[in-house]
C-alpha cells in the first residue's frame, strides 16, 4: 500500500521503557509507504482525539502507536468526521485489546509490516450518547476495577494489575438495579456488571462469549448477575462458554443487539475501552462499518 498523506500519533507515556524501541521499529517500515508523513506526540490526555479531529480529514491514513486509551481517543476523534481516513493500530500499551481482536501482531515492527502489507476491513463502532467506543462499554464491576487500579501495579505487573484490581473490587461490589431495552425487547433486574461488546478481549483475556465480531452490525451483551468470585474467574479463565439466552441460574445472561438503552436507579460510572468519564443512563447503538481499519492478510 502507498498513501499520499499519513499521520502517526504516538503516546509518549505508553510503554515508557519501550517507546524508543517501538518508534525505531515502526517508522522505517511506515515511512516508505507515505509521501507526506506527519508525526505527532501526545503530551496530555485528549491530544490524540484533538489531532484526529484537526488533521484527520486531510489524511489518507492515520496510525496510532499506543495503548487502549490512545486508541479510544483516536476512535473518538475520527468517528465524527465526514471523511474518515484509514486507521492502523500499532500496539504500544499494556493490554492492546482491540488490536488483538483484529489479529494484529503484538510486536510493533511486526504489526507495522503486517498493516502496510495487509488489507482494509470495515468495522463497526459503538456510539454511547455522544461518545464512541471500539472494544467495549461496561458498568459495574468493570468500571469499578478500572477506577481502583493501582498505577504502580499496572506499571510493574502489566495485565496482571488489572486482574488484581478486579479481584479486589469483587468483595466491595454491590448489585445495582437496571432496566435494559434492546431491539424492541425489555428486561430488568439486578446485576454486578453489564458488558456491551464489540471486541473479543478485555485485559488481554479472550472472552468466552460466542458470536462477537466487530463487523456484523451487532453487539454481544453480557449481564453478570452473580457476584461470586468463582463466576467472575470462570469468565476470565474461560472455564465455561456462555450461549445466547442461557438460563439465569448460571449467573450470566448473554444476548445480541444493535441498539440498547440502559438505565439504573443510581447513576453508574461507564467504562468505555478502559476509560471512565460518563455515567448512566446511556443509549447505545452500532454504527455499522463506520471505520475502515488496516488488518493483516
Give the residue numbers annotated as catalytic, written as ranges: 275
Backbone Cα Rg of the chain: 19
Place of cell 448473554: 254
Which of 266, 277, 255 lies closest to 129 in space, CA to CA?
277
DSSP for residue 248: G
- CA atoms 235, 239, 245, 246: torsion sign: negative
Question: 145 near 173, Cβ under 8 Å?
Answer: no
CA 130 remoteness from chain centre: 16
10 Å CB burial of residue 188 (0-12, 13-18, 19+) is exposed
Select from 110, 107, 109, 66 the least CA-distant residue to 89.
66
DSSP letters spanning 209-239: -TT--TTSS-EEEEEE----HHHHHHHHHTS
Angle subtended by helix axes 159-170 and 229-237, to nearest 10:
160
Max intra-chain CA distance, the chain? 58
* SS3 state of residue 174: coil
293: Cβ contacts below 8 Å, ≥ 6 apart: 86, 87, 88, 89, 102, 120, 121, 122, 123
Amino acid at each position: 500500500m502507498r498513501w499520499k498523506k499519513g499521520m502517526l500519533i504516538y503516546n509518549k507515556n505508553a510503554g515508557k521503557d519501550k517507546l524508543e524501541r517501538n518508534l525505531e521499529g515502526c517508522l522505517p517500515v511506515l515511512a516508505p509507504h507515505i509521501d507526506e508523513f506527519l508525526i505527532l506526540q501526545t503530551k496530555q490526555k485528549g491530544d490524540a482525539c484533538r489531532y484526529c479531529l484537526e488533521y484527520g480529514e486531510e489524511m489518507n491514513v492515520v496510525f496510532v502507536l499506543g495503548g487502549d486509551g490512545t486508541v479510544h481517543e483516536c476512535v473518538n476523534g475520527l468517528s465524527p468526521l465526514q471523511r474518515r481516513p484509514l486507521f492502523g493500530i500499532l500496539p504500544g500499551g499494556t493490554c492492546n485489546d482491540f488490536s488483538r481482536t483484529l489479529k494484529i501482531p503484538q510486536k510493533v515492527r511486526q504489526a507495522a509490516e503486517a498493516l502496510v502489507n495487509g488489507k482494509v476491513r470495515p468495522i463497526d463502532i459503538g456510539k454511547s450518547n455522544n461518545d464512541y467506543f471500539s472494544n467495549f462499554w461496561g458498568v459495574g464491576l468493570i468500571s469499578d476495577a478500572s477506577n481502583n487500579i493501582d498505577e504502580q501495579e499496572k506499571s510493574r505487573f502489566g495485565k496482571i494489575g488489572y486482574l488484581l484490581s478486579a479481584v479486589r473490587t469483587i468483595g466491595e461490589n454491590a448489585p445495582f438495579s437496571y432496566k435494559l431495552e434492546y431491539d424492541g425487547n425489555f428486561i430488568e433486574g439486578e446485576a454486578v456488571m453489564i458488558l456491551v461488546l464489540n471486541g473479543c478481549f478485555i485485559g488481554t483475556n479472550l472472552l468466552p462469549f460466542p458470536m462477537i465480531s466487530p463487523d456484523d452490525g451487532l453487539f454481544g451483551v453480557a449481564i453478570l448477575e452473580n457476584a461470586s468470585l468463582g463466576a467472575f474467574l470462570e469468565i476470565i479463565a474461560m472455564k465455561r462458554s456462555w450461549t445466547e439466552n442461557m438460563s439465569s441460574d448460571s449467573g450470566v445472561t448473554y444476548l445480541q443487539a444493535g441498539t440498547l438503552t440502559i438505565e439504573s436507579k443510581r447513576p453508574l460510572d461507564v467504562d468505555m475501552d478502559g476509560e471512565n468519564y460518563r455515567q448512566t443512563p446511556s443509549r447505545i447503538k452500532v454504527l455499522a462499518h463506520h471505520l475502515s481499519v488496516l488488518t493483516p492478510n
